[in-house]
Amino acid sequence: MNLITEGAVGVDVGGVFYNPRMRLNRDIGVAMARALGIVEYLDAFSASGLRGLRLIREAGVEDMTFNDVSPTAARLIEENLARNGLQGEVCCKNANVLMHERRFQAVDLDPFGTPSPFLAAASRSAEEYLFVTATDTAPLCGAHLASGIRKYMARPVKAEHHREMGVRILLGLAARELARMDKGMEPLLTHATEHYVRTYLRTIPGARNADISLEKMGYLEQCPRCGGWWALSGLASEAKGTCSRCKERTLLAGPLWLGPLKRNEVLDRAIPGLPESASAIRLMKLCRDELDCPMYHDHHRLCRRLGIAPVRLDRLVLALQDSGFRASRTHFSGTGLKTNASREELEDLLVGLESKVGGDLQKGQDRVASGARLPET
């Protein structure tokens, strides 16, 4: 027996897979379910049942279905329900079979590795919400190209924004699978954290809504030499083939999702329900406040290309905003920046900031040489 306490429940995790590093994932999942008022929920890969138990007790889910193909896990879930004085339905089936047989208000896919083999059945089963975790970030983000193409029917390109590219490739597959069921989708929250990607989708029935979702699909054309990129909207869009700046042959990533990654009204409702976890609150606020446009710039990589020293990222964000652009930090990277400024406009502003910093430094050195005191900092 291996008893642990997480949130408001205590469970035995002995004999089944349990990852304590995924507590952040579960903390946010509970807050999102509470904010959305979910009452019926399928946890398709339950293991010890920890996520579902927390959803019942902390989020008020009334009709909770646990599933795991392992008889050992199914027995353990029954024991953990009894241990916590809670009730729920426990199934011991192949997840695809269960999801093809039944419909649920919310379906949660958190398998070991890729969710790709289960997305078709989950898209059929999810009536209002589909939540997906993918832990195979190497294929998603371009490190294992052939594997990524097989699993997600999309080509990732290794680039400075590879984490967001992986997120948008996963969303692109979800959009296509839902469209096959005549359903559209609206991402409510999507984040890339440590070794996994997690997305919370609202499913919207109707062929017209599926068409609207597919209109938010497209490609990313990427220059491997200068690092520039541009989005190509539409599944039938045509690539330029060469970079307009450096004339290098470009690479094409996709198809992928080019639409929004989150819905701020939902995040504003979910954030107060988070446990006293500084990391969860910080992540959710970063996601809420970041600019919702495709891809981010790596500030440090950009400065290395330009041969200049990086300035403080917050200062760069403010400088962009003062110049009339939209800009924000991003949760995808501590050195990442999102902006609607073009690559050229961003580079010009960075060079101008570096010149100003260098000029201010020279003035300070001149004052020191003349015997003047610098102001306290």
What distance in Å separates the CA atoms of residue 53 and residue 115, rounded to the nearest whole number? 22
**Residues 283 and 340 reside in one and the same domain:** no
How far apart, in whole angstroms, are the C-alpha atoms of residue 189 and residue 178?
17
Could you tell me if 128 and 240 lie in one domain?
Answer: yes
The answer to whether 240 and 218 have CB atoms below 8 angstroms apart is no
The average confidence (pLDDT) of the chain is 91
Residue 261 lies in a domain: yes
- Please give the Cα distance from 221 to 238 (Å, whole number): 10
Q: Which residue numbers in the chain have pLDDT < 70?
A: 356-377
Our count of domains for the chain comes to 2
Q: Looking at the structure, do residues 104 and 168 belong to the same domain, yes or no?
A: yes
E strand spans, the chain: 3-6, 9-12, 40-43, 63-67, 89-91, 104-109, 126-134, 183-193, 196-205, 217-222, 229-233, 251-257, 297-298, 327-330, 333-339
Looking at residue 323, which CATH number applies to its domain? 3.30.56.70
Strands ordered across the beta sheet of 327-330: 297-298, 333-339, 327-330
One domain for residues 176 and 302: no
Q: Is 214 a domain residue?
A: yes
172 and 231, same domain (yes or no)? yes
- The token pair at 158 is 């290794």
- For residue 26, being part of any structural domain is answered with yes
Amino acid code (one letter) for 196: Y
Nearest by Cα to 353 from 298, 321, 308 = 308
In a domain, 377, yes or no: no
> Which long-range CB contacts under 8 A does 145-153 form with residues at least 24 apart?
151/114, 151/116, 152/114, 152/116, 153/255
Same domain, 213 and 355: no
Q: Is residue 144 located within the same domain as residue 263?
A: yes
Q: What range defines the domain where residue 182 resides?
A: 3-289
- Give 190's contacts (C-beta < 8 A, 6+ positions apart): 167, 171, 197, 198, 199, 200, 261, 262, 287
Q: Domain check: are 206 and 308 in the same one?
A: no
Last residue of a domain, one of 289, 318, 345: 289
What tens digit of pLDDT does each residue of 265-297 get?
Answer: 999 999 998 977 789 999 999 999 999 999 999
Q: Are residues 282 and 325 in the same domain?
A: no
Q: What is the pLDDT of residue 364?
A: 37
Domain endpoint, select from 253, 271, 289: 289
Q: What is the pLDDT of residue 357?
A: 53
